[in-house]
């Protein structure tokens, strides 16, 4: 099992029933069913009257629901062939509990064992007031489970769709990137008329709690630990502070409602989608008000998608009793509209890109038909370079100029759909595999990911937007071993390559294959660069054991090269390297090497010698075997250069061809037949 397949900590099960899909919920002859049991995680006792919701994975609507019996069991019959999400809810238990599974059954069969182990829920409650002690009603309180994020961080998940921040039990944040299906959603509640709030149904753990109220600066985030079946108390006070207010208008003076205005708090904006600490939304008159603003130099910015971006304003708050007015006005009146399409008459929906000029930029998002529109632009020339998944990035940006005579410009942009690779992933018996991870990488030593997807319930997949070249395809899925990768070649953007994949059955892990090694002799030591074999025996390599003899010199490494120090110059050594996993060690890879005679040159004398020249004399290293030349490096006029001279092993070199009275810094390094020698210390000289 690879680390991609870390279970998301929610009570969500994906179930696929194969057969002929029915457009309406009924009980066709090929109907399937889902069954399981809901218990308490602590002692395995059944949870009765828990509600089981079954939803189609294609939409949020509930297909059907049922409740558990007194023994905790449930069964959902008469399900048409489809992919379903199953969620459990029980009073007094956390609404999220561990469990993510994929099940494939033949039509008419029951998917059994869709079980849930619930934990008693925890609660965070408290009261909200302002700095004067008045209650604050209608504020939103978010609770984000940091225990889930820290668990994801510790398991080394691959980079995904958006940034998050994990608190490592301190007032600092560590960047983490996780995919959105793995990202835990924050629980939330609104404060009541008396200022109190209660967030129920939480899993036990450590939570980051944030309080927001439009138009107010937020209190500091708090960290709260909750235990199953208990209530933790957390109160918050909105800070006193200055007031920042103003209007956002078009250049003609018309109000711009629904525009978000943020103040400072850039540290908060990336925190798992939680809102910034100080923000407001303009009303129908374009006015905004933010209170509780602290003193200091702050940035006031406006978020206005589909409008020209307004430059932020920097303000200095010197007094908490101050009211500061900051107005924003669109920089122009020009507009750009058009359609983003695929060249076949199909609009590309939900694509975001930007228009930029030498001084202004603005972002747009296409609607369901590929239409886009941006306004508030000053006159000038604008460039757009849409980058949309599945399509090739244009070689040159689309360009349009808006002028007083052409203030409302139209620009249609056509993207080229790249080549595709598609196929079906099956198991060893020929059945389709749902949820297999398919990745295309460059077919070189870098193996850079280019495109990826997950197979549909029928095992099919499609990778789009590929340029010409060779790609290596890999397939992975839980409970299967990955087959050898395959290479596909794309000669044209019109190519549609069909490449099926067959996963392998899991087999008992074995010791890995022997690694390859590269050894670089060095002064009184050896650099050993081991590389694990591609075949790890079905179990990850945890150690590359390096042993150098004579003597006992040992190094352990997987991610780093080894440097074996304390060796003798001009001596033969045997290097043995074995790859180790939990099953055992591979056969050793052996290489015989000899350390070079690499003592640095010593007793260097350097002096001016004639017009624009300098002479260097030195003692050769104590062992001259293997030295074929001396390399001279000098520093002058702000950079290092190599002095070119006829190859010689004599300990005397005259440097010529320089300007007179030029200051140089010089080093000398023996050039060896094998390995690398140390350089001399730098010496200064002024040419004659």
Angstrom distance (rounded) from CA 8 to CA 182? 6
8 shares a domain with 108: yes
Please say if the pLDDT value at position 667 is more than 80: yes
For the CA atoms of 303, 305, 307, 313, the dihedral, rounded to the nearest 10 degrees, stands at 10
Please say if the pLDDT value at position 209 is more than 50: yes
91 part of a folded domain: yes
Task: Please say whether the beta carbons of 415 and 340 come within 8 A.
Answer: yes
Task: Please say whether the beta carbons of 538 and 554 come within 8 A.
Answer: no
Task: Give 179's pLDDT tier (boundaries 50, 70, 90).
Answer: very low
Q: What's the CATH code of the domain at 101?
A: 2.60.40.10
pLDDT tens sequence across 229-255: 899 999 999 988 889 999 999 999 999
Percent of the chain residues past pLDDT 90, beyond the cut: 23
183 shares a domain with 286: no
* Mean pLDDT calculated for residue range 431-449: 85
Within 8 A by CB and 6+ apart from 85, the residues are 12, 13, 14, 54, 55, 56, 57
Q: What is the pLDDT of residue 540?
A: 77
616 shares a domain with 576: no
**Which of these, 113, 116, 82, 69, lies nearest to 96 by C-alpha position?**
116
Q: What is the pLDDT of residue 265?
A: 45
Q: What is the pLDDT of residue 489?
A: 93
Q: What is the pLDDT of residue 658?
A: 85
Angstrom distance (rounded) from CA 628 to CA 571? 18
**Which of these, 281, 283, 290, lies nearest to 322 by C-alpha position?**
290
342 shares a domain with 272: no
Percent of the chain residues past pLDDT 70, beyond the cut: 79
Q: What is the pLDDT of residue 267?
A: 40
Q: What is the pLDDT of residue 375?
A: 93
For the CA atoms of 124, 182, 170, 207, the dihedral, rounded to the nearest 10 degrees, stands at 0
The number of CA neighbours under 13 Å toward the Cβ of 447 is: 8
Backbone region of residue 152 per phi and psi (left: phi > 0; alpha: psi in -120 to 50; beta: other values): alpha
Task: Give 334's pLDDT tier (boundaries 50, 70, 90).
Answer: very high
The number of CA neighbours under 13 Å toward the Cβ of 626 is: 22
207 shares a domain with 132: yes
Using CB atoms within 10 A of its CB, is residue 156 exposed (0-12), middle (13-18) or buried (19+)? Answer: exposed
Please say if the pLDDT value at position 326 is more than 90: yes
Task: Give 4's pLDDT tier (boundaries 50, 70, 90).
Answer: very low
* Mean pLDDT calculated for residue range 80-100: 66
Which of 329, 357, 385 terminates a domain? The answer is 329
Backbone angles phi, psi at 151, to 5 degrees: -65, -45
Task: Give 599's pLDDT tier (boundaries 50, 70, 90).
Answer: low
Task: Give 218's pLDDT tier (boundaries 50, 70, 90).
Answer: confident
Report which of residues 138 and 155 the model is more confident about: 138
Backbone angles phi, psi at 152, to 5 degrees: -60, -40
**Which of these, 157, 173, 186, lies nearest to 10 by C-alpha position?**
186
Radius of gyration of the chain (CA): 34
Peptide bond into 386 cis (omega under 30): no
535 shares a domain with 437: no
Check residue 272 and report its DSSP letter: T
Q: What is the pLDDT of residue 303?
A: 78
- The token pair that represents 500 in the structure block: 């099926």
273 part of a folded domain: yes
Please say if the pLDDT value at position 623 is more than 60: no
- The token pair that represents 77 in the structure block: 């019959």
Report which of residues 286 and 686 the model is more confident about: 286
Report which of residues 316 and 59 the model is more confident about: 316
Task: Please say whether the beta carbons of 14 and 7 come within 8 A.
Answer: no
Highest-pLDDT range among 466-475, 508-517, 545-554, 659-668: 466-475
78 part of a folded domain: yes
Report which of residues 105 and 188 the model is more confident about: 188
SS (H, E, C) 291-324: EEECCEEEEEEEECCCECCCCCEEEEECCCCCEE
As a residue count, the chain comes to 688
**Hey, how many other C-beta atoms are within 10 angstroms of the C-beta on 661?**
11
Please say if the pLDDT value at position 222 is more than 60: yes
Task: Give 370's pLDDT tier (boundaries 50, 70, 90).
Answer: very high
Angstrom distance (rounded) from CA 688 to CA 664? 11
Q: What is the pLDDT of residue 395?
A: 80
Q: What is the pLDDT of residue 615?
A: 82
424 shares a domain with 385: no
618 shares a domain with 551: no
**Hey, how many other C-beta atoms are within 10 angstroms of the C-beta on 368?**
8
pLDDT tens sequence across 94-150: 754 433 334 444 556 677 888 888 888 889 999 999 989 999 999 989 888 776 554
Which of 446, 468, 502 terminates a domain? The answer is 502
Angstrom distance (rounded) from CA 105 to CA 38? 21
672 part of a folded domain: yes
SS3 label, residue 555: strand
Check residue 437 and report its DSSP letter: E
* Mean pLDDT calculated for residue range 612-636: 74
Number of domains in the chain: 7
Report which of residues 189 and 272 the model is more confident about: 189
Q: Token pair 């560590």 is at which residue? A: 174
Please say if the pLDDT value at position 408 is more than 50: yes
510 part of a folded domain: no
Using CB atoms within 10 A of its CB, is residue 347 exposed (0-12), middle (13-18) or buried (19+)? Answer: middle
Task: Give 11's pLDDT tier (boundaries 50, 70, 90).
Answer: very low
Check residue 680 and report its DSSP letter: P
The number of CA neighbours under 13 Å toward the Cβ of 596 is: 24
Angstrom distance (rounded) from CA 480 to CA 437? 11
* Mean pLDDT calculated for residue range 647-661: 82
Q: What's the CATH code of the domain at 276?
A: 2.60.40.1120
Angstrom distance (rounded) from CA 331 to CA 380? 12
Angstrom distance (rounded) from CA 380 to CA 227? 60
Report which of residues 153 and 34 the model is more confident about: 34
**Hey, how many other C-beta atoms are within 10 angstroms of the C-beta on 263?**
24
- Structural domain including 180 reads 122-237
Within 8 A by CB and 6+ apart from 637, the residues are none
Please say if the pLDDT value at position 625 is more than 60: no
Angstrom distance (rounded) from CA 285 to CA 263? 20
Q: What is the pLDDT of residue 377?
A: 92
- The token pair that represents 8 in the structure block: 């998301």
Backbone region of residue 380 per phi and psi (left: phi > 0; alpha: psi in -120 to 50; beta: other values): left
Q: What is the pLDDT of residue 436?
A: 85
Mean pLDDT, the chain, as a whole number?
78
Please say if the pLDDT value at position 60 is more than 90: no
The number of CA neighbours under 13 Å toward the Cβ of 152 is: 28
Backbone angles phi, psi at 565, to 5 degrees: -105, 175
SS (H, E, C) 187-205: EEEECCCCCEEEEEEECCE
553 shares a domain with 493: no
Backbone region of residue 138 per phi and psi (left: phi > 0; alpha: psi in -120 to 50; beta: other values): left
Which of 531, 566, 594 terminates a domain? The answer is 594
* Mean pLDDT calculated for residue range 397-419: 91
221 shares a domain with 136: yes
* Mean pLDDT calculated for residue range 327-341: 93
509 part of a folded domain: no
582 part of a folded domain: yes
Please say if the pLDDT value at position 311 is more than 90: no
Please say if the pLDDT value at position 6 is more than 50: no
Angstrom distance (rounded) from CA 459 to CA 429? 13
Angstrom distance (rounded) from CA 143 to CA 206? 9
Within 8 A by CB and 6+ apart from 246, the residues are 261, 287, 288, 325, 326, 327, 328
Check residue 377 and report its DSSP letter: E
- The token pair that represents 98 in the structure block: 């561990």
Please say if the pLDDT value at position 401 is more than 90: yes
Angstrom distance (rounded) from CA 49 to CA 66? 9
255 part of a folded domain: yes
Angstrom distance (rounded) from CA 519 to CA 567? 14
Backbone angles phi, psi at 495, to 5 degrees: -65, 140
Least confident segment among 124-138, 293-307, 397-411: 293-307
pTM of the model: 0.50
479 shares a domain with 521: no
491 shares a domain with 526: no
């Amino acid at each position: 099992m690879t680390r991609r397949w870390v279970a998301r900590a929610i009570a969500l099960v994906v179930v696929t029933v194969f057969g002929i899909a029915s457009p309406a919920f009924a009980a066709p002859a090929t109907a399937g069913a889902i069954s399981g049991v809901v218990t308490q995680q602590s002692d395995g006792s059944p949870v009765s009257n828990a509600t089981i919701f079954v939803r189609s994975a294609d939409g949020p609507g509930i297909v059907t629901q049922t409740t558990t019996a007194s023994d905790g069991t449930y069964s959902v019959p008469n399900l048409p062939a489809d992919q379903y999400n199953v969620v459990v809810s029980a009073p007094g238990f956390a609404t999220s509990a561990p469990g993510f599974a994929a099940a494939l059954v033949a039509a008419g069969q029951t998917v059994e064992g869709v079980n849930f182990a619930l934990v008693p829920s925890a609660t965070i409650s408290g009261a909200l007031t302002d700095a004067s002690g008045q209650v604050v009603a209608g504020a939103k309180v978010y609770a984000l489970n940091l225990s889930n994020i820290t668990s994801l961080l510790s398991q080394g998940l691959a980079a995904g769709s958006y940034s998050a921040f994990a608190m490592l039990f301190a007032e600092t944040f560590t960047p983490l990137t996780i995919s959105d299906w793995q990202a835990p959603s924050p629980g939330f509640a609104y404060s009541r008329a008396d200022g109190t709030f209660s967030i129920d149904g939480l899993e036990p753990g450590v939570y980051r709690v944030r309080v927001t109220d439009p138009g107010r600066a937020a209190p500091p985030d708090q960290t709260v630990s909750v235990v199953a079946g208990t209530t933790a108390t957390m109160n918050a006070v909105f800070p006193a502070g200055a007031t920042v207010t103003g209007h956002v208008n078009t250049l003609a003076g018309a109000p711009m409602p629904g525009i978000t205005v943020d103040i400072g708090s850039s540290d908060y904006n990336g925190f798992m989608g939680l809102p910034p600490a100080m923000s407001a939304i303009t009303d129908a008159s374009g006015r905004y008000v933010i209170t509780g603003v602290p003193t200091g130099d702050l940035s006031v910015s406006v978020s206005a998608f589909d409008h020209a971006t307004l430059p932020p304003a920097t303000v200095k708050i010197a007094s908490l009793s101050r009211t500061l007015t900051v107005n924003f006005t669109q920089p122009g009146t020009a507009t750009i509209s058009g359609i983003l399409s695929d060249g076949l008459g199909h609009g590309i929906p939900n694509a975001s890109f930007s228009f930029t000029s030498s001084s202004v930029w603005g972002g747009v998002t296409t609607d369901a038909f590929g239409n886009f529109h941006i306004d508030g632009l000053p006159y000038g020339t604008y460039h757009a370079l849409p980058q949309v998944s599945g399509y090739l990035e244009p070689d040159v940006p689309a360009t349009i100029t808006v002028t007083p005579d052409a203030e409302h410009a139209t620009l249609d942009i056509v993207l080229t759909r790249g080549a595709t690779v598609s196929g079906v992933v099956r198991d060893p018996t020929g059945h389709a595999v749902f949820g297999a991870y398919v990745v295309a990488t460059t077919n070189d030593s870098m193996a850079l990911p280019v495109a990826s997807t997950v197979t549909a319930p029928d095992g099919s997949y499609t990778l789009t937007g590929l340029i010409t070249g060779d790609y290596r395809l890999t397939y992975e899925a839980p409970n299967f071993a990955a087959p050898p990768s395959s290479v596909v070649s794309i000669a044209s953007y019109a190519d549609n390559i069909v490449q099926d994949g067959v996963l392998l059955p899991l087999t008992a892990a074995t010791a890995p294959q022997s690694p390859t090694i590269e050894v670089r002799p060095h002064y009184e030591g050896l650099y050993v660069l081991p590389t694990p074999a591609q075949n790890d025996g079905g179990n990850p390599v945890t150690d590359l054991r390096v042993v150098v003899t004579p003597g006992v010199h040992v190094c352990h490494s997987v991610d780093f090269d080894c440097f074996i120090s304390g060796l003798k110059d001009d001596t033969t050594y045997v290097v043995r390297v074995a790859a180790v996993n939990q099953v055992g060690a591979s056969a050793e890879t052996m290489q015989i090497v000899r350390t070079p005679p690499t003592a640095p040159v010593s007793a260097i004398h350097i002096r001016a010698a004639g017009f624009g020249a300098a002479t260097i004399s030195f003692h050769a290293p104590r062992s001259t075997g293997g030295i074929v030349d001396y390399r001279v490096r000098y520093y002058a006029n702000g950079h290092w250069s190599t002095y070119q001279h006829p190859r010689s092993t004599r300990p005397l070199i005259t440097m010529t061809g320089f300007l007179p009275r030029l200051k140089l810094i010089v080093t000398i390094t023996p050039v060896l037949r094998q390995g690398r020698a140390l350089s001399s210390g730098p010496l200064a000289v002024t040419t004659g």
